[in-house]
Amino acid sequence: MAGLAAPMVAPQAAQAVPPGTYAYVTNFNANTVSVINRATNTVAVTVPVGAAPWEVAVSPNGTRAYVTNRADDTVSVINTATDTVVATVPVGLEPLGVAVSPDGTRAYVTNFSADTVSVIKTNTNTVVATIPVGDAPIGVAVSPNGTRAYVTNADANTVSVIKTATNTVVATVPVGAFPFGVAVSPNGARAYVTNFNDDTVSVIKTNTNTVVATVPVGDAPQGVAVSPNGTRAYVVNADADTVSVIKTATNTVVATIPVGDAPREVAVSPNGTRAYVTNANADTVSVINTATNTVVATIPVGDLPFGVAIGVVPCPGHGKPGHGKSGHDRQTTATGNCTRA
């Protein structure tokens, strides 16, 4: 119509990968994140991030991945649909660990040289709280109900328990020597802490904040992850090139799995059938079949892979207003196919 300007419509970013389940791997020396398609065990996309990326966590709805950049003192926020960095959040000195709350509203970042935890509000990508913890914090995990965050303090040999409603430390739990990684069981009853210098895992009973078991594992344990059904804990032994499989009902090691050179971290798939282990000196990821406790694939990634997390990339429109209503795309199958509601 003459004299009436057409409204400007912002172009929509293309979806970089189809909906489905992906493993995100931080490549410390390459300043990138490798995005592995779990269906093919191949790298689908490589995302440039900040300097010396250490750890990664994916939001529960699968739309964002948070990457700590140790040398930049920042967190890169990746849009998983487009596999691009959409925000860079300044945090504390030497950020290492990162975990996202179950409701996706907060990301918790350990600042190794600042002895603090930065709390990021995810809808604004801003730090809304800085929590003093113990000396040299590394790992962080959030309880399934979101009320507690557990932080390993490597030089204090303790775990700080943060009450997330008030962003305050409400308990400090003595554990082994140089605690590194931490994972919480799906029912929230136990926290598993790797003690790097002790070659053990401390099992914390969360309702009393006490250690109820100490499990011997391999040499220099770092990463730890618990299976979705809570029956197994997978512990990466960095100097032994193995993964110890702990039966959580008995707190005993029931299998030891050889992996690549200098393994660092581990993540378990949502269905519990696979565990992904980063091998720092081999520049690979080992894929473990959890039913047989054997490596069934080895995936080349970037230079010095360290952190790993699993995320389910949703269909277009997922998590936006109106998603699931008529006319909006939604995911309907395990393979990631999208249909119109």
Q: What is the pLDDT of residue 317?
A: 64
Asked whether residue 145 is assigned to any structural domain, the reply reads yes
**Does residue 339 surpass a pLDDT of 80?**
no
**Does residue 295 surpass a pLDDT of 90?**
yes
Q: Which tokens in the block code for residue 156? A: 């204090």
Q: What is the pLDDT of residue 279?
A: 98
**Does residue 340 surpass a pLDDT of 80?**
no
98: domain CATH number is 2.130.10.10
Asked whether residue 118 is assigned to any structural domain, the reply reads yes
Q: What is the pLDDT of residue 40?
A: 96
Query: Which sign does the torsion angle of CA 333, 338, 339, 340 carry?
Result: positive
Contacts of 310 (CB under 8 A, 6+ apart): 21, 22, 23, 24, 38, 58, 267, 268, 269, 270, 276
Asked whether residue 13 is assigned to any structural domain, the reply reads no
b (16+ CB within 10 A) / e for 231-241: ebbbbbbbebb
Q: Which tokens in the block code for residue 165? A: 């409603």
Asked whether residue 85 is assigned to any structural domain, the reply reads yes
Asked whether residue 290 is assigned to any structural domain, the reply reads no
Q: CA dihedral defined by 93, 101, 215, 179, rounded to 10 degrees? A: 10
**Does residue 327 surpass a pLDDT of 50?**
no
* Per-residue model confidence as pLDDT tens digits over 28-37: 999 999 999 9
Q: What is the pLDDT of residue 191?
A: 98
**Does residue 146 surpass a pLDDT of 90?**
yes
CA atoms within 13 A on the CB side of 92: 26
Q: How many other C-beta atoms are found inside a 10 Å radius of the C-beta of residue 314?
A: 22
Domain that holds residue 152: 20-274+298-318
Asked whether residue 43 is assigned to any structural domain, the reply reads yes
Cβ-contact 141, 191 below 8 angstroms = yes
Q: What is the pLDDT of residue 322?
A: 35
Q: CA dihedral defined by 169, 170, 173, 179, rounded to 10 degrees? A: -20
**Cα 15 → chain centroid:** 22
Quickly tell me which residue has 């950049």 as its tokens: 69
Count of domains observed in the chain: 1
Question: How does the average pLDDT of the chain come out, rounded?
Answer: 91
Residues 99-108 have a mean pLDDT of 98
* Per-residue model confidence as pLDDT tens digits over 36-80: 999 999 999 999 999 999 999 999 999 999 999 999 999 999 999
Q: What is the pLDDT of residue 48?
A: 98
Asked whether residue 339 is assigned to any structural domain, the reply reads no
Give the whole-angstrom CA distance, residue 269 versus residue 204. Answer: 24
Predicted TM-score (pTM) of the model is 0.91
Query: 231: helix, coil or strand?
Result: coil
Cβ-contact 281, 27 below 8 angstroms = no
* Per-residue model confidence as pLDDT tens digits over 282-293: 999 999 999 999
**Does residue 10 surpass a pLDDT of 60?**
no
Instruction: Assign 14 a pLDDT band (cuts: 50, 70, 90).
Output: low
Q: How many other C-beta atoms are found inside a 10 Å radius of the C-beta of residue 90?
A: 12
Instruction: Assign 316 a pLDDT band (cuts: 50, 70, 90).
Output: confident
**Does residue 331 surpass a pLDDT of 70?**
no
Give the whole-angstrom CA distance, residue 197 versus residue 237. Answer: 11
* Per-residue model confidence as pLDDT tens digits over 220-262: 999 999 999 999 999 999 999 999 999 999 999 999 999 999 9
Asked whether residue 337 is assigned to any structural domain, the reply reads no
**Does residue 4 surpass a pLDDT of 80?**
no
Angle at CA of residue 329, ends 327 and 331, nearest 5°: 145
Q: What is the pLDDT of residue 86?
A: 98
**Does residue 325 surpass a pLDDT of 80?**
no
Q: For residue 200, what are the CA distances in angstroms to 126, 195, 205, 267? A: 36, 5, 16, 19
Give the whole-angstrom CA distance, residue 131 versus residue 265. Answer: 25
Q: CA dihedral defined by 215, 219, 220, 226, rounded to 10 degrees? A: -50
Give the whole-angstrom CA distance, residue 101 versus residue 120. Answer: 10
* Per-residue model confidence as pLDDT tens digits over 158-184: 999 999 999 999 999 999 999 999 999
